[in-house]
Every structure is written in C-alpha cells, then in structure tokens.
Structure 1
C-alpha cells in the first residue's frame, strides 16, 4: 500500500461507489425547519415512537378532558344557564396536569438529542442553531396549546349544545385561547430551557416540576399571606410576576376572563404582567439559542 502521508500535495479524488445518484430538488432550510417542527410535534405526543412513549401524554390528556366532559354532561342534562367554570379558569384548575405534560415531554424534544449527540447531525449545514432551537420550542408550544385547547373546545361545544348565549361564550373562549397561547409559550420556554441544560431525563423532569409546580405553589401561598394576613395588595400582585402560572392568572383576571386572584390585577400592573410574560418567553428563547449554539460549535 503506498504511503499517502508521503504525498501531501496529492489532490482529492471522488470515487464512484455505485450508489444511486440523487437528481431531485435539494430542499433548503425552510423545508428542514418545517419537517423538524412537525416531527417534534408528533414526538411530543409519542406519535412515530414506541407504544410506551404514548402512554404519558395521552393519559394526561384524557385526565384533562374527563372533568370537561363531566361539566358538559351536567350542563346539557340539567339545562344550566351558564357553565359552572369559565374557560380560562378551567385551564387554571388543571394546571397540575398541564405542568406535568410540559415537564415530561420537554426532555423528549430537548434532552434526548443532546444526550445521544445526534444534535451534531441536526446542526450540520444548512440548519443553524437558532432555527433548531426555535423549531423545537415551537413544536412544544403548539403541543402545549393543543393540550389546553382541546378541553376548552369541548366545553364550548357543550355550551352550544346547551343553548347558552353564543356571543358571550365566543368572547369568553377567545379570551381563554389567547391566554393559552401565551401560557404555552411560557411553559415551553421554561421547561425547554431546563431540559436543554440537563442531559438526564429525570433531572430535567424534576427541574421543570420545581419551576412550574413548586414555584407556583410558593407564589400562591405568598400572595394569599400578603393579601389576607399582611393587608398588602401591591405585594400580593407583585409576587405574581415570578411564576408563569401567576402571570397567566393575573392577565386572565385583568382581562375579565373568569379567573380569581388573591388581589385584583389592574392599573399599571396589567402592562407589567404582559411585559414580564413576553420577556420570559424571549429570555428562554435566547437561552435555548445560546445553549444549542454552544453545543453546535464543539
């Protein structure tokens, strides 16, 4: 065998190994990003994966739908003049299930590729780190929105079957869906960022649970203590800026969407809540981009 190292000036050679040539159209970044988004959305519900991967998301979704189905049955059969729970408040009442869905499915989209080092293949040209991070976040955001919107649509269908006022119900459901879009973006950002930092699924789940469930509980306790025991409305409202769920509930209260908070959110607090929610989403996205850019440069 000739010593190839002895001929540093030898030109490169392309060998025809007999594989079939590709003569089709080479798609660009947009097609890759769209495929990545669809694949991520499917994987969030275990579609296209093993059977056990479908258990957690669909069990949580069924548990979220069950109370809505019961409410619809009661309203239709008894002829109530209104829903016993508002659309936005139903989302708040099922926040444990929604947070568990985010905590359990975020590692599927963010931790697995990092753990198995397949991220290097994704970030090969022409896909960039910002596009990858954005598509993964968008997949989880849409999955979260679907998770919250399906029970809401079921409640709305029940309200229509019961003959409730169409204009009032349409206005209420649009408010709830708008709030759900913002909530999904926040939860996907927080859980996605945590999962991108932790390569172990278990650690990622625990971290997301701490951020979405435990922190929300602490914020709620402080809000109630500050308002009812400390007689401080401003402290109660201000603490609500520290959690995605309290931001959602505060904006729902300010928008008259049927969510009660310890202290009413009004005045200058309303734009403050909206700005903090948007900054939280933007900060998580920047963190995801920085994380994947760092990994892709290795």
Structure 2
C-alpha cells in the first residue's frame, strides 16, 4: 500500500475582525447597484443601448422645447405635458429595466446569497423598488430642469419671470414623482412573477397597453348610453389614464388636455393611492414566499 502523503497546510486563514457595516449599508449598496444597473452603468455596451436610447429621447424632446422657446418665445409642450407625452418610452423603459432588476435574480437563484447577509426579504424588494422609481424620476425630472434652465435665460422679465417659470415647473415635477412611484411599483411586481425576462417584459407592456382599449370601450359605451358616470370613471381602468385623472384633480387641466372625469377627481386620487398600496403589498408578499 502506498504511504500516506497528505499534508495539512497552514494558509494563514484568519477570521474577519473589521467593522460590520450592517443592514443599512447592505440596503444602500443594493440600491446603488440596482440604480446603476437600470442605466447599464458598469455593464457591457449591450446593457446600455436601450436605457440610453430612452435618455436620448427625453433629452432630445427637452432640447427641442428649449430651441422653440428661444427662437419663437412659444411653448411647444408644458412641463406636465412632457410627463404624459413621454408615457410610451417610459413604459418600454420599465419593461426592459424591471425584469433586469429582479427577474435575473429569480432565474439565476441568487436570492439565497442576498438573504444570507443582514438583508431582510422586504429590504431587497424595497431597495429594488426605490432604484426603479428613482430611475423613472430622473428620466422625467432632469429634462424638465433643463427646460427650466433654458427658459429662464430666454425670458426678459428677470427674477419674476424665473419665479413664474418655477411655479409652472413644480406641478410637472410633482407629476413625475407620482408617475415614478406608481408605475415603478406596478412594473416591479409584474416582473417579480417570473424569472424569464422576455415574459416579464411582455407582461409589463400588456398591463399598460391592453387596458388602454378598455378605457376607450367604456368611455364610448357611456357616451352611447348617455351614462356620463360610466364615461367619467372609465379612465380608472388603465394605470396611465388613472394617474392623468389624479394629476388633473390635483393641479387642474393642462391646457386643452382635459380628461372628462367630471366630479370624480377624488375617486382618481383614491384609485392612485390604492394602486400604489396594492402593488407594494403584492411585491412584499411575493418576496416573503420566494424560496431562499
């Protein structure tokens, strides 16, 4: 029998004795990493294509608005109109980025690695939600700040003009915040249902686009039957029109873009809050049950 030649080597292993940064640091790191992922930062060129295409669209619209104001002094699009007018690129952004943030972890079964740290399941879900909501807010808010900066340099009424322009912009920024909070929650809870990113993206687009014809059908049915209550509440059926009705109730009609919500503005407010609460509740429930 051959002699035993096994040797135990002392490789100098030592226990970690440095600072334990804890749960807060883990949450912050996950949030920062997820926000960078949303824009493809720190990843390959392929991951940057779509997020930066959307950035190019929203910044391009802002540049066109600045040019029109500087040349003609006219307003091509209002601050609130900027938010609602770019709903389709934002939906596509959510459909691509939402699955990238959560579906990949489900598919690759990396959640046990996250939960082995001082990171609760609710922490993971809320950090991902905060990152996606921040990304949408940046997409809708930063171009408005660019428009504002360009506008105050083209105005001839000095400080009072700048303050008036600021008053015009604030409802636009508030609308951007509302859209970011609600749409990110809806998109993320849909994306968290599957580990297949293609399916998740299709489901997210479907939630926003398939419900749009329902609004049109209900509104036309209400008009045909002269049931104006049905016409006024029809816009509750789609998340985008629901939020538009909520914003109209808060800030009034945006120019000629008036939705026929009648006296049901408070109902749209309740609907928006309920949609946000339901989406976050379902998101947290999903990660309480997911296998670790």
TM-score norm. by structure 1 comes to: 0.86
- 2:136 corresponds to 1:144: yes
List structure 1 runs of 4+ shifted beyond 6 angstroms. Answer: none
Q: Specify whether residues 130 and 66 from structure 1 end up closer, same or farther in structure 2 by C-alpha distance, changes over 3 A only.
A: same
> What is the alpha-carbon distance in structure 1 between the residues aligned to residue 102 and residue 61 of structure 2?
31
Give the C-alpha shift of residue 38 in structure 1: 0.7
Which residue does the alignment assign to 1:3? none
Give the C-alpha shift of residue 225 in structure 1: 1.9
Which residue does the alignment assign to 1:11? none
- 1:111–1:198 CA contact under 8 A, matched in 2: yes
2:169 equivalent among 162, 169, 173:
173
Which residue does the alignment assign to 1:196? 192
- 2:82 corresponds to 1:85: no
- 2:246–2:266 CA contact under 8 A, matched in 1: no
Give the C-alpha shift of residue 152 in structure 1: 1.6
Q: Specify whether residues 243 and 74 from structure 1 end up closer, same or farther in structure 2 by C-alpha distance, changes over 3 A only.
A: same
- 1:172–1:257 CA contact under 8 A, matched in 2: no
Give the C-alpha shift of residue 17 in structure 1: 5.1
- 2:267 corresponds to 1:272: yes
Q: Which range moves more in the overlay, 59-68 or 249-258? A: 249-258
Q: Specify whether residues 139 and 257 from structure 1 end up closer, same or farther in structure 2 by C-alpha distance, changes over 3 A only.
A: farther
- 2:50 corresponds to 1:56: yes
- 2:223–2:231 CA contact under 8 A, matched in 1: no
1:173-252 paired onto structure 2 within 5 Å:
173-215=169-211, 217-222=212-217, 224-226=219-221, 229-252=224-247
- 2:83–2:175 CA contact under 8 A, matched in 1: no
Which residue does the alignment assign to 1:263? 260
Residues 37-70 of structure 1 show CA distances to partners (whole Å, capped at 9, x for unaligned) of 1111110000111111011000011112212211
- 2:112 corresponds to 1:127: no
Q: Specify whether residues 157 and 226 from structure 1 end up closer, same or farther in structure 2 by C-alpha distance, changes over 3 A only.
A: farther
Q: Please, which runs of 5 or more residues in structure 1 have no aligned partner?
A: 1-14
Partner of 2:290, secondary structure, is helix
Q: Specify whether residues 191 and 22 from structure 1 end up closer, same or farther in structure 2 by C-alpha distance, changes over 3 A only.
A: same
1:280-295 paired onto structure 2 within 5 Å:
280-295=275-290
Which residue does the alignment assign to 1:33? 27
Give the C-alpha shift of residue 231 in structure 1: 4.0
1:101 equivalent among 64, 88, 93:
93
- 1:252–1:258 CA contact under 8 A, matched in 2: no
Q: Please, which runs of 5 or more residues in structure 2 have no aligned partner?
A: 1-8
- 2:91–2:205 CA contact under 8 A, matched in 1: yes
Partner of 1:197, secondary structure, is coil
- 2:46 corresponds to 1:47: no
